[in-house]
């Protein structure tokens, strides 16, 4: 095993990881910061895929209280209220910094103010954007800032396991896998940040970057960190259907529904009238996705398993100005949004559950921090569109600042040697035999299983079936040999992916079974009602013996009580369409 060391090890390469690295460096330029990315920094992960935009209170008629209440209502009131308040109140600070220090630019109204568009589930049009390519704008500028600071960036280096001290409660680094050399690398670090993204690609149809396989979540679970509300997986209602190609599932962003797009079943009916007649297509993502799934189950979908998003009435000029990227994408697979309804499907999109953190991104393990989609608690049972990238920016920055502050007083810990050797042994036990492509088959099997049993609609019977099947898949993976050399071997990389996906799937399954009600994105067909008094979070933790416990913990109503938020969000009226400074197609 190769060895390396640093002060701060950041595992990830998306928006939260980059923002954390930048802030940590600026807080203390003397720190040795290592940024280890599974793919290419700035070119992998999901931040660069963000289309809809970033929620922020800027307009004088909007307020922190409105944004906050929308976020709690959207999360079915099980959000961590202090995390949600931090998100809302610090989002403007990050926008000021992104524009004025880092060079980001967002679309403007004709009077020079930042344009804000409507996204679903919100009481005000507060989503800022750069056309429909907001993520590329953000990730490009953050990557430039990281390189300008000459941070130590290593590509194609993925996390495998966390290193703990002998007592097992303090993180001392991590074991990484170098795709090009095939070697395991033991990195000793004083602090570790997990920002690897969630595990939406667990599902057969997904909008997420395919390399996001729950690596950080699985690493934290194996190390004994607390995880929260892992049953909460968000499905986006408008994933593009493009035959059997990999592009199927790619999101057509929420701004199209927010601007007045219609969802139609195969008979041409606006079916949301059946499920949420007050909000229609501007209902929250969980309700719209589940409504689509119900239409499909009732036989009112297309033969390809979809429904239609119809934006023809919005006009070609508006579509070209507001959504040039999506317009091109749809053209590339045979749809002209200006003249054709586009076939769409629910698609696995975002993990609301994750590592349990406080406001400074500290986990339950000393020295371990988490940000972005690896962290849970901010969104509760359902994330509002536009709150995801805001979370990455707000908590990425906070993580960097918090790590720098932590290292003013904290020294390093010595990794437990036995744990490191046991971790390495998982990948060397069967060396010498050629690895077949079985890992790819197992991943496809997990995708189908998750879609059917852990997806939009769940039941006790289906969850029990999933438990047995996951055990069979894990046994099959254990029998899959390890290659003599794992250097540049995609099959071995897929083996690591499958191992982590199994771990995350089990956590989701156990939490979904424990929450015997329906709430937000979690819908139990055998328990379809929401328990009015069931305001609890589910906390999971693996003990040193390997047993994972699950506990219900009451939500702390530190700022709002349920009676303060009675009723649904009042949906903002459609805003006028001002002239935008956006690139024409």
The 10s digit of each residue's pLDDT in 407-426 is 998 888 899 988 888 888 87
What pLDDT was estimated at residue 435?
56
Q: Which residue among the candidates 257, 321, 356, 524 is catalytic per the annotation?
A: 257
Sheet of strand 54-55: strand arrangement: 54-55, 127-128, 116-117
- Note whether residue 584 is domain-resident: no
Band (pLDDT 50/70/90 cuts) for residue 548 is: very high
Claim to verify: residue 39 and residue 135 sit in the same structural domain: yes
Mean pLDDT of the chain: 91
What pLDDT was estimated at residue 95?
97
Claim to verify: residue 192 and residue 154 sit in the same structural domain: yes
Per the annotation, the verdict on 236 as an active-site residue is yes
Q: Which residue among the candidates 126, 130, 236, 519 is catalytic per the annotation?
A: 236
Q: How many domains does the chain have?
A: 3
User: pTM of this prediction?
Assistant: 0.93
Domain with 209 in it: 2-232+352-406
pLDDT digits (tens, 9 = 90+) for 61-120: 999 999 999 999 999 999 999 999 999 999 999 999 999 999 999 999 999 999 999 887
High-pLDDT (> 70) share of the chain, %: 95
What pLDDT was estimated at residue 245?
74
Claim to verify: residue 265 and residue 332 sit in the same structural domain: yes
Claim to verify: residue 226 and residue 368 sit in the same structural domain: yes
Torsional sign, CA 42, 47, 48, 53: negative
Across residues 14-27, what is the average pLDDT?
Answer: 97
What pLDDT was estimated at residue 419?
86
Q: Integer distance in angstroms from the first to the last C-alpha of the chain? A: 51
Inform me whether the pLDDT recorded for 580 exceeds 60.
no
Query: What is the per-residue DSSP string for 510-574?
Result: HHHHH--S-BTTB-BTTB-S--TT--EEEEEEE-TTSPEEEEEEE---SS--GGGG-SPPPPPPP
Across residues 210-219, what is the average pLDDT?
Answer: 95
What pLDDT was estimated at residue 431?
57
Inform me whether the pLDDT recorded for 59 exceeds 60.
yes
High-pLDDT (> 90) share of the chain, %: 77
CATH of the domain at 358: 3.50.50.60
- Note whether residue 579 is domain-resident: no
CA nearest neighbour of 495 among 435, 537, 541: 435
- Note whether residue 567 is domain-resident: no
pLDDT digits (tens, 9 = 90+) for 484-496: 788 898 988 999 9
Task: List alpha helices for 426-542, DSSP H.
Answer: 438-453, 460-478, 490-514
What pLDDT was estimated at residue 322?
83
CATH of the domain at 284: 3.90.700.10
Inform me whether the pLDDT recorded for 579 exceeds 80.
no
Claim to verify: residue 213 and residue 321 sit in the same structural domain: no
Claim to verify: residue 169 and residue 305 sit in the same structural domain: no
The answer to whether residues 344 and 252 touch, using CB atoms and an 8 Å cutoff, is yes
What pLDDT was estimated at residue 585?
24
CA 200 to chain centre: 7
- Note whether residue 553 is domain-resident: no
Per the annotation, the verdict on 328 as an active-site residue is no
Inform me whether the pLDDT recorded for 433 exceeds 70.
no
Q: Which of 310, 331, 348 is the last residue of a domain?
A: 348
Q: Which residues contact 351 (CB under 8 A, 6 or more apart)?
A: 198, 199, 200, 214, 217, 232, 233, 234, 373, 376
CATH of the domain at 452: 1.20.58.100
Claim to verify: residue 342 and residue 368 sit in the same structural domain: no
Claim to verify: residue 312 and residue 362 sit in the same structural domain: no
- Note whether residue 540 is domain-resident: no
Claim to verify: residue 108 and residue 201 sit in the same structural domain: yes
What pLDDT was estimated at residue 479?
83
Claim to verify: residue 285 and residue 147 sit in the same structural domain: no
Residue 169 half-sphere exposure toward CB, CA atoms < 13 A: 2
Claim to verify: residue 209 and residue 296 sit in the same structural domain: no
- Note whether residue 424 is domain-resident: no
Claim to verify: residue 279 and residue 381 sit in the same structural domain: no
């Amino acid at each position: 095993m190769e060895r390396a060391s640093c002060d701060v090890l950041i595992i990830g390469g998306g928006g939260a990881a980059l923002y954390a690295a930048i802030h940590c460096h600026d807080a203390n330029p003397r720190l040795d910061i290592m940024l280890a990315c599974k793919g290419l920094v700035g070119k992998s992960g999901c931040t660069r895929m963000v289309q809809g935009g970033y929620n922020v209170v800027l307009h004088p008629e909007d307020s922190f209280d409105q944004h906050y209440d929308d976020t709690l209502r959207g999360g079915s009131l099980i959000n961590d209220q202090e995390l949600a308040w931090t998100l809302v109140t610090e989002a403007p600070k990050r926008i000021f910094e992104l524009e004025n220090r880092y060079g980001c630019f967002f679309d403007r109204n004709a009077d020079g103010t930042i344009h804000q568009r409507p996204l679903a589930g919100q009481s005000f049009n507060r989503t800022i954007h750069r056309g429909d390519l907001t993520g590329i704008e953000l990730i490009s500028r953050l990557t430039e800032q990281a390189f300008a600071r000459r941070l130590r960036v290593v590509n194609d280096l993925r996390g495998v396991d966390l290193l703990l001290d002998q007592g097992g409660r303090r993180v001392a680094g991590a074991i990484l896998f170098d795709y090009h050399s095939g070697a395991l690398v033991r990195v000793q670090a004083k602090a570790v940040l997990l920002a690897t993204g969630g595990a939406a690609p667990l599902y057969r149809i997904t909008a997420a970057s395919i390399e996001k396989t729950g690596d950080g979540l699985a690493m934290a679970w194996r190390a004994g960190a607390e995880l929260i509300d892992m049953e909460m997986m968000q499905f986006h209602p408008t994933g593009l259907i493009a035959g059997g190609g990999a592009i199927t599932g790619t999101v057509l962003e929420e701004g199209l529904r927010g601007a007045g797009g219609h969802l139609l079943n195969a008979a041409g009916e606006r079916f949301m009238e059946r499920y949420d007649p007050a909000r229609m297509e501007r209902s929250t993502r969980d309700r719209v996705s589940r409504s689509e799934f119900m239409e499909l189950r009732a036989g009112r979908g297309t033969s390809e398993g979809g429904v239609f998003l119809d934006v023809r009435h919005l006009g070609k000029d508006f579509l070209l100005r507001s959504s040039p990227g999506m317009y091109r994408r749809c053209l590339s697979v045979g749809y002209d949004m200006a003249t054709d309804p586009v076939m769409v499907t629910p698609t696995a999109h975002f993990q609301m559950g994750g590592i349990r953190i406080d406001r400074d991104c500290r986990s339950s393990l000393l020295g371990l921090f988490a940000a972005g989609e690896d962290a849970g608690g901010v969104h509760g049972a359902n994330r509002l569109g536009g709150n995801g990238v805001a979370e990455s920016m707000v908590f990425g920055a906070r993580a960097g600042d918090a790590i720098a502050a932590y290292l003013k007083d904290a020294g390093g810990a010595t990794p437990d040697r036995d744990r490191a050797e046991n971790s390495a042994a998982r990948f060397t036990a069967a060396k010498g035999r050629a690895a077949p492509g079985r890992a790819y088959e197992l991943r496809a099997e997990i995708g189908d299983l998750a879609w059917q049993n852990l997806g939009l609609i769940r039941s006790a019977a289906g969850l029990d079936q999933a438990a047995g099947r996951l055990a069979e898949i894990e046994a099959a993976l254990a029998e899959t040999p390890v290659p003599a050399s794992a250097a540049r071997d995609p099959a071995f990389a897929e083996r690591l992916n499958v191992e982590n996906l199994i771990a995350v799937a089990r956590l989701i399954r156990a939490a979904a079974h424990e929450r015997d009600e329906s709430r937000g994105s979690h819908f139990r067909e055998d328990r379809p009602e929401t328990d009015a008094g069931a305001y609890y979070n589910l906390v999971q933790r693996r003990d040193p013996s390997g047993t994972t416990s699950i506990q219900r913990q009451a939500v702390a109503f530190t700022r709002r009580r349920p009676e303060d938020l009675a009723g649904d969000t009042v949906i903002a009226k459609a805003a006028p369409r001002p002239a935008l400074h956006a690139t024409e197609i």
